[in-house]
Amino acid sequence: MSESELQESPLALSHQLAGARFTAFAGWNMPLLYSSILEEHRAVRESAGLFDISHMGELRFAGPDAGAWLNTMLTNDTRKLPIGRAQYTLLLNEKGGVIDDLMLYRIGEEEWFIIANASRVIEVRDTLAAELPESVTLVDESAASAAVALQGPLAAEVFESAFAVQMPARNHVMDFIWENVPLFAAGTGYTGEAGCEVVIPASSADRVWTHIFQAAGDRLRPCGLASRDTLRLEVCYPLNGNDLSPERSPFEAGLDIFVKMDKGDFQGRTALQRQLEGDYQRLVAFIMEGKTPPPRAHCPVMIGGVAVGEVTSGSQSPSLGAGIGLAMVPESASAPGSEIGIEIRGQIFPARIHSKPLYHRPL
């Protein structure tokens, strides 16, 4: 895809004025970084950072049967989601592979909202639309919306300074008005820190972005995709297209807790049941030992000189000062503490499997 074919965020001008370096991502021209990965990563771990997530998609569902129908399509249990709460869930294909991992929000008695990953928005929308009952409506609000993620230990302070209301608690959601602009905020994020995600009408995006920075002062930095990736990797949040795919099940990705096999039938359940009866690979987290190059996706995972799997995501961890990653390996080799080798540019470097997450916030 050429640069001219990439979609632009409603916040593109604000990013240019802030000196962002851009990169192509999932068909979008998005900020990679503004200063450095290290500075932006540390800002989120120590104070607060603001990310543009307008490339993600927003889908709204309504109708008396919407919740029950979504329960037949998604892996988590919508019946356990009260009004005003959010739930992590997955949409599977009939083979049990992951089409997308999603955040599902219950915003009313008969109204639901989904945020989907940029690379999967169309497929998620079309997959759900193909099974939509007559009693349920689906509206794709992606083109009319912008969204930002405010993340970090000072996120609540910044949010209150900007909007004079309390930031929603973790997995809670709320609608509110700021200077005649309707906003939707959810206590969710992709960094392992406190924070929230705010959906904004696209026409008001620059105004809201600028106001948040004016209210925050030196407590806040703009952050790009590069630091977003190192932050999520430290806490082992999977990335669709790397750690999740239509060929891999949520069990292989270690997302068992978000799959409610006892709730009744849902798309992909039969395939998952068959998988439970056999052996399958597991997505594990690892830390490189000693001074090594950073691991990258598709690096072979070695045990006893034999390739047994591959890295799905890898990077240098600013918080841990070591190479880290996620890798798909046989279940027999997935125990924390197991020694493995990661082949990088033809040389094998030592690593060890660790429990997730790799990074824990200091007490």
**Among candidates 182, 200, 260, 192, which has minimal Cα distance to 230?**
192
Strands (E), 179-220: 181-186, 195-201
Residues 45, 150 share a domain: yes
From 172, 200, 234, the end of a domain falls on 234
Asked if the model's pLDDT at residue 3 lies above 90, the reply is: no
Asked whether residue 130 falls in the same domain as residue 199, the answer is: no
Residue range 6-17: mean pLDDT, rounded: 97
Domain CATH code at residue 51: 3.30.1360.120
Q: Final residue of a domain: which of 118, 140, 162?
A: 140
pTM: predicted TM-score of the whole model, two decimal places: 0.96
Same domain? For 205 and 194 the reply is yes
Among 125, 140, 155, identify where a domain stops.
Answer: 140
The tens digit of pLDDT for each residue in 247-291 reads 999 999 999 999 999 999 999 999 999 999 988 999 999 999 999
Specify whether 230 is located in the same domain as 333: no
Would residue 313 count as lying in a domain? yes
| Same domain as 78, residue 19 | no
- 36 and 95 part of one domain: no
Same domain, 43 and 67: no
Whether residue 111 is found in the same domain as residue 15: no
> What is the four-CA torsion angle of 180, 181, 186, 188, rounded to 10 degrees?
-140
- Residue 301, pLDDT > 70, answer yes
| DSSP labels, 222-281 | EE-HHHHHHHHHHTT---BTTTB-TTS-TTTTT-GGG--TTS---TTHHHHHHHHTS---
**Could you give the CA distance from residue 149 to residue 232 in angstroms, rounded to a whole number?**
13
Residue 29 and residue 42 share a domain: yes
Distance (Å, whole) CA 258 – CA 254: 9
H helices, E strands: number in the chain: 8, 20
Q: Does a structural domain hold residue 251? A: no
Cis ω on the peptide bond leading into residue 357 (within 30° of 0)?
yes
Contacts of residue 117, defined as CB under 8 A and 6 or more positions apart, other chains included, come to: 26, 56, 57, 100, 101, 102, 240
Shared domain for 130 and 29, answered yes or no, is: no
Cβ atoms of residues 244 and 117 within 8 Å: no
- Averaged over 321-330, what is the pLDDT? 98
Q: For residue 116, is it within any domain?
A: yes
Could you list the residue range(s) of the whole structural domain that residue 359 is in? 281-363
Rounded to an integer, the average pLDDT of 309-335 is 97
205 part of a folded domain: yes
Residue 63 belongs to domain with CATH number: 3.30.70.1400
Residue from 345, 240, 335 nearest 295 by CA: 345
pLDDT score for 256: 97
Number of separate domains in the chain: 3
**Amino acid 362: pLDDT:** 83
> What is the pLDDT confidence band of residue 1, given thresholds at 50, 70 and 90?
low
For residues 91 and 229, state if they share a domain: no
